[in-house]
Each structure stands twice: as structure tokens, then as C-alpha cells.
């Protein structure tokens, strides 16, 4: 019998240790919850040894210790803080799953109790109105401080596909008032009031269903506090109250988009000026106009084309090792290939336009030398 099923409040007890192999032992009674059903294994000590992992192997709960122990009696101590954390999250998950099923016709398809965040997967899509309603009703169950009861071999229970038992002839059932009744092999709190707080953190679409991230207990409080701290910073920056933040953020976003549009308009006005100042290289009667830096990269290709057209030749624009080439007659791709062959980098294009990235900085004199050498 697993003691953590019937006496979850026990964190210390005498156990009989039997070695399976090396540092792997089984203990009686089973006080350590193994890594099972989405709930991480308990931590703790057995006599002088630290418990490194607890897994179910061949129908037995096997504890891997940091040192071998000779068979016999030892005091087993479960890490209380760690257990209360995983048990709080797990008990909260029962409440969320039970309410979701009974009041919103949502089936639980998966559970994960993580050390930073926990998730429960529902078989249908839900929106924030539903999630908030589930959260409120879950908190009602916390406030009622209902006992978390364990029974065996009861019929008409919710059984998750990913839960398995070691005693195949016995199904352990967990009941929380009228809110949940499901087959489960995990470790729980004694009553729902011990959870304190349940918070739903995010919703994510998963295939046809929804993955709900949540936290319970002290971890939920810490999460709420960190969110409150972010809101304080935002209120300070925006100079407004919390309810006004979305409107203030939207206004700032709109303003920055208008500014970006205006900057684009100004650059478009300035581009002809850069065409005039492009330095010209002559290659066997063909003209190549070169402009280095200053123009934002998103205008490089446009400026290269404007230079090419104005001199009826080719235009090269380089900005922070990004290069754009445009050409009316000689191949833009060939020009780029020559420069890349000389200074390194990569890129590609067509006879009319090409662009790429250079491995090294490049000067006008270097471009002139490369193009005239190879022509």
C-alpha cells in the first residue's frame, strides 16, 4: 500500500529498506511519490542517503539513492516543501478538471505538474470568459476547505488515459466533494483549503483543445506579485491607472506607427540626394555608382535601383555589411559575386537585382579595385 495515498500528511516514518541493485532500493511502506501521472517524484532522505529519483519499474516503486544502503530499518524523510508544492498543484488540477468536466463539458486529456508552471489540457477550445469562470469556481472549492478523500475500486469515475497503477487489481479513486471523482495515483493535500490560491495564467490552442497553464498556492501568489510589479512599472511609465493602460498602450503604438510612416516618407524624399552623391566607377565604358552607409537597409535596394537608372549603369549600396546591387545592363549578380569572392560573405540574385551580406567591412576603394581588377 502506498502511504502517500492514505496519509499525505506524513513526511517522516520508519521504513524497511530492501536493495534491488546497487543504489536502487524499494521501501516499505511507500512514502515517496514516484515520477508518475504528470507529477514529479518526491525528494528527501532515507537514513544517511539522499533520494535522487523515484521511478516505477516492473510494477515496483524503485528509489535511486546517492549511496548504497544495507537492508534494514531506516527513517525516511520526505522533503515537505517540495511535496506541498507538487501536491498543491496536483490537487488544484483535480478541482480545475472536475469543474471543467461537470460544469463546462470539458474532458481532461493531459496533465503536467512542472516546477515552474503546470498545465492541464482540455479536449475543446475555451476562451478567457470560460477560463475565468472555471478559476472563480475553483476558488469557491478552495474556500469550502473540502477534504480530499481516497477510496478504492469505485465505479463511475474519471480515468485519464496516461495514469497507470502498480496494483492492477485495485483502482484508487480521489474524491473532492461533488466536484471531482477520478482515478488517480498521485499525492494530494489533505483538504482544498490548504491550496490557498489557484490562478490560471495562460491559454494555448492545442490541436482541437486548449492547454491551460496554472499555478496554485504560494507559487501562484509569487506569480501574481510579479505581475503586479510589472503593472506598477507600466502605470509609472504611462502616468495612468491600470484600467487606462490598454488605451494608453494602443495610443503609443499608433503614435509610433505614424512616426515610422513619417520617417519613411522623409527618407523617400531624401533618396534622390544620395543618388547625386554616389561615387562613380568606370568599367570598360559601363558606369557603376556606389553609395556606402547612411541610408536605412530597407531603402538600400530602392536606392541601388535609382542610382542604376540615373546613370544607365549599375548601382551598389552597402550598409553595415549588407549589400544591394541593381543593374540595367551588366549582371547585378555577377557584380555581387565578384565582391563576395574578394571579401567573403553570401548572397544571390538575378542579372537586374542582387543582395547579400559581407563578412568584412568594405570601402569605396576596395570596391573599385575589385571591379576593375576582374573586368
What is the smallest separation between the CB atom of 228 and Zn ion, expressed in angstroms?
Answer: 31
Element (H, E) at 333: helix 332-343
Query: Which span sits near Zn ion by CB under 5 A: 61-69, 185-193, 218-226, 286-294?
Result: 185-193
Of 184 and 305, which has the nearer Cβ to Zn ion?
184
What is the smallest separation between the CB atom of 89 and Zn ion, expressed in angstroms?
Answer: 10
Q: Rule CB under 5 A: is residue 38 a binding residue for Zn ion? A: no
Q: Rule CB under 5 A: is residue 44 a binding residue for Zn ion? A: no
What is the smallest separation between the CB atom of 187 and Zn ion, expressed in angstroms?
Answer: 8
Residue 178, SS3 per DSSP: coil
Among 17, 27, 126, 184, binds Zn ion (CB under 5 A): 184
- Residue from 15, 74, 12 nearest 48 by CA: 74
Of 88 and 355, which has the nearer Cβ to Zn ion?
88
Residue 185, SS3 per DSSP: coil
Q: Which residue is nearest to Zn ion (CB)?
A: 184
Instruction: Enumerate residues 307-336 that contact Zn ion by CB under 5 A.
Output: none
Distance between CA atoms of 290 and 282, rounded to whole angstroms? 11
Of 130 and 163, which has the nearer Cβ to Zn ion?
163
Residue 69, SS3 per DSSP: coil
Q: Which three cell numbers stand for residue 282?
A: 568606370
What is the smallest separation between the CB atom of 186 and Zn ion, expressed in angstroms?
Answer: 4
Residue 365 CA: distances (Å) to CA of 221, 288, 358, 371: 63, 13, 16, 10
Instruction: Tell me if the bond preceding 29 is cis, omega within 30° of 0.
Output: yes
Instruction: Enumerate residues 196-255 that contact Zn ion by CB under 5 A.
Output: none
- Residue from 22, 40, 65 nearest 117 by CA: 40
- Residue from 183, 3, 172, 18 nearest 78 by CA: 3
Site string for Zn ion, 161-180 (x = CB under 5 A): -------------x------
Q: Rule CB under 5 A: is residue 186 a binding residue for Zn ion? A: yes
Of 45 and 107, which has the nearer Cβ to Zn ion?
107
Distance between CA atoms of 92 and 200, rounded to whole angstroms? 11
Residues in the chain: 375
Of 137 and 158, which has the nearer Cβ to Zn ion?
158
What is the smallest separation between the CB atom of 91 and Zn ion, expressed in angstroms?
Answer: 7
Instruction: Report the interface residues with Zn ion, using CB under 5 A.
Output: 174, 184, 186
Amino acid at each position: 500500500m502506498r502511504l502517500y495515498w492514505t496519509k499525505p500528511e506524513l513526511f517522516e516514518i520508519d521504513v524497511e529498506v530492501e536493495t534491488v541493485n546497487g543504489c536502487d532500493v524499494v521501501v516499505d511502506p511507500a512514502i515517496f511519490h514516484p515520477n508518475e501521472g504528470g507529477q514529479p517524484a518526491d525528494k528527501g532522505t532515507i537514513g544517511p542517503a539522499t533520494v535522487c529519483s523515484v521511478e516505477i519499474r516492473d510494477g515496483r516503486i524503485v528509489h535511486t539513492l546517492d549511496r548504497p544502503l544495507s537492508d534494514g530499518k531506516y527513517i525516511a524523510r520526505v522533503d515537505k516543501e517540495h511535496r506541498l508544492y507538487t501536491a498543491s498543484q496536483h490537487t488544484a488540477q483535480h478541482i480545475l478538471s472536475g469543474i471543467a468536466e461537470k460544469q463546462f463539458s470539458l474532458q481532461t486529456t493531459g496533465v503536467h505538474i512542472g516546477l515552474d508552471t503546470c498545465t492541464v489540457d482540455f479536449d475543446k477550445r475555451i476562451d478567457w470568459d470560460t477560463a475565468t469562470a472555471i478559476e472563480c469556481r475553483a476558488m469557491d472549492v478552495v474556500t469550502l476547505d473540502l477534504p480530499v478523500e481516497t477510496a478504492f475500486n469505485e465505479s463511475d469515475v474519471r480515468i485519464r488515459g496516461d495514469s497507470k497503477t502498480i496494483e492492477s487489481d485495485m483502482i484508487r479513486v480521489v474524491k473532492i466533494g461533488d466536484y471531482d471523482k477520478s482515478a488517480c495515483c498521485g499525492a494530494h493535500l489533505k483538504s482544498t483549503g490548504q491550496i490557498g490560491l489557484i490562478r490560471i495564467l495562460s491559454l494555448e490552442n492545442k490541436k482541437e483543445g486548449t492547454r491551460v497553464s496554472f499555478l496554485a498556492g504560494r507559487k501562484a501568489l509569487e506569480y501574481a506579485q510579479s505581475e503586479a510589479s510589472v503593472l506598477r512599472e507600466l502605470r509609472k511609465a504611462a502616468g495612468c491607472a491600470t484600467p487606462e493602460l490598454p488605451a494608453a498602450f494602443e495610443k503609443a503604438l499608433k503614435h509610433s506607427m505614424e512616426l515610422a510612416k513619417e520617417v519613411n516618407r522623409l527618407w523617400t524624399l531624401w533618396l534622390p540626394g544620395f543618388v547625386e552623391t554616389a561615387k562613380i566607377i568606370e568599367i570598360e565604358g559601363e558606369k557603376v555608382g556606389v553609395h556606402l552607409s547612411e541610408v536605412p537597409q530597407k531603402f538600400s535596394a530602392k536606392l541601388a535601383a535609382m542610382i542604376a537608372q540615373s546613370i544607365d549603369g549599375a548601382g551598389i549600396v552597402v550598409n553595415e555589411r549588407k549589400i544591394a546591387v541593381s543593374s540595367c545592363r551588366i549582371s547585378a549578380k555577377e557584380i555581387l559575386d565578384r565582391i563576395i569572392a574578394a571579401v567573403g560573405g553570401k548572397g544571390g540574385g538575378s542579372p537586374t537585382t542582387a543582395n547579400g551580406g559581407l563578412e568584412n567591412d568594405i570601402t569605396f576603394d576596395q570596391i573599385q579595385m575589385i571591379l576593375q581588377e576582374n573586368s
